[in-house]
A and B are shown apart, each in its own frame.
Chain A
Amino acid sequence: MENKKWYQETFDQVHVPDKLLGKVMDMENQTKAKKGWRYAMGALGTAFALFVASNGICYAATGETWVSRVTIYFNGGSIEKDVTWQDNGDGTFLGTVEMDSDEETGLVMFRDDVDMTNNGTYSFEEDGMTADGNAEYVSSVIDCVVEEDEDGSVWVRVRVREDGVCKAETDITADLADGFAEGELPCGDGFAYHYQVTQTEAGEYELMLSAELSEE
């Protein structure tokens, strides 16, 4: 049998589960309902922000940082937290959450799609995963990937997701000789990206990426 036919006949039997299909179709109705909810939350958010302002923290309208309330889901539960947002001036925002010691520390989120006029409740779902140490949500406008070139060299590259333009790259071939490479990748976007690449026995690359506001 032809490989293509064999492949297609095999994957023809893979279907989206009925339950999920129903859920996806129903999302349209949920979205309509959610628009009203968002409006209501916007009013609450403003009240909350004024409260924060009276406690000495800058409010979005008057300064570079502001605070909003988020619900963070993790470890199968949820907590509500104040997030201090900072406008990086390049269309991205940095949000930092202070965590109590028994909740582990330093959950940091990057969001470039935060609606500044609507300080409502933002949800970040990571069911069943464990949060510990520092965590970053990398900007949704970039991709960071490990790529093998034709000559066998291995590169860490940061690309703009929309158009695929490479913003920064570094050759890690030599560093990776012992199966692990680590370093910084400045992209000129106000963040310093720190990468750790591990080559698995199966020949795949595992990439850990964290980002911090650059001092430059």
Chain B
Amino acid sequence: MDGRSYIDAVKAYADIVYRTALSYTKAPQDAEDVTQTVFMKLLENEDSFADEEHLRRWLIRVTVNECKNLWKSFWRRRVGLSESEKTADAEREDYDYQGYTKRGAKKGMPPENPEFDNLSQSELYEAVMALPKDYRVVVHLFYYEEYRAGEIAELLHIREQTVRTRLVRARQKLRQRLEEAWHDGE
């Protein structure tokens, strides 16, 4: 990819790649690593893209693959799956966002997680991040990127029915956690 297209692509899609990676890994540091790797692959990519949507899907697909790679890496398998998630969860418990303090907040350490305008947004973020990872990425692609179940199935290499099942289960969990604030059936 030539320099100008690359810079344009970074400006247009860096947030999309980062958000997708974060929704999969839920650890900001991992999401940053994945984002860097994805754009390195874009830089090395010699194929052309038919249009913006083609590029967008390619980036999301590579992002998900890189997230899976992160998971499969030996050290992550041995220590990461349990340790980094526990650490991330523990930190998430210790912090809250934008002054919504929880028990045991650590002093002097900046929160790793994004800051939100209001409590309902931080609650939704927490609820989404508490979902199993396979549900998180499906939920993100559906609600944020506005892909349909069939398109998500294509992006993730899974069956459309599996996407629908995960969406249903994810909604149930979000409903349990967020109660009336989360409306069923959307």
Inter-chain CA distance A3–B104, complex, in Å, is 31
From A11, A137, A145, A147, contact of B19 by CB (8 A):
A11
Q: How many of B's residues come within 8 Å of A, CB to CB?
A: 59
Contacts of B120 in A (CB 8 A): 6
Contacts of A147 in B (CB 8 A): 158, 162
Q: Binary interface profile of B, 40-66, with partner A (CB < 8 Å = 1, else 0)?
A: 100110000000000000000000010
With an 8 A cutoff between CB atoms, is B101 at the interface? no
* Interface majority SS (helix, strand, loop, mixed), chain B: helix
Find the B residue at minimum CB distance from A109: B74
From B7, B15, B65, B162, contact of A148 by CB (8 A):
B162
From B117, B134, B162, contact of A13 by CB (8 A):
B117
From A6, A135, A136, A140, contact of B124 by CB (8 A):
A6
Q: How many of A's residues come within 8 Å of B, CB to CB?
A: 51
Contact between A24 and B10 (Cβ–Cβ < 8 Å)?
yes
With an 8 A cutoff between CB atoms, is B68 at the interface? yes
Known contacts A15-B15, A126-B73, A126-B75; A28 and B186 CB within 8 A of each other: no
Known contacts A13-B114, A14-B114, A16-B18; A208 and B77 CB within 8 A of each other: yes
Contacts of B44 in A (CB 8 A): 31
Contact between B35 and A3 (Cβ–Cβ < 8 Å)?
no
Inter-chain CA distance A138–B72, complex, in Å, is 8
* Contact residues, B64-97 vs A (CB, 8 A): 65, 68-69, 71-82
Can you list 18 A-B pairs, Cβ within 8 angstroms, ordered by A? A2-B186, A3-B183, A7-B128, A11-B140, A14-B15, A14-B19, A15-B114, A20-B35, A24-B35, A27-B43, A126-B73, A130-B79, A131-B74, A133-B78, A147-B162, A148-B162, A159-B157, A204-B134
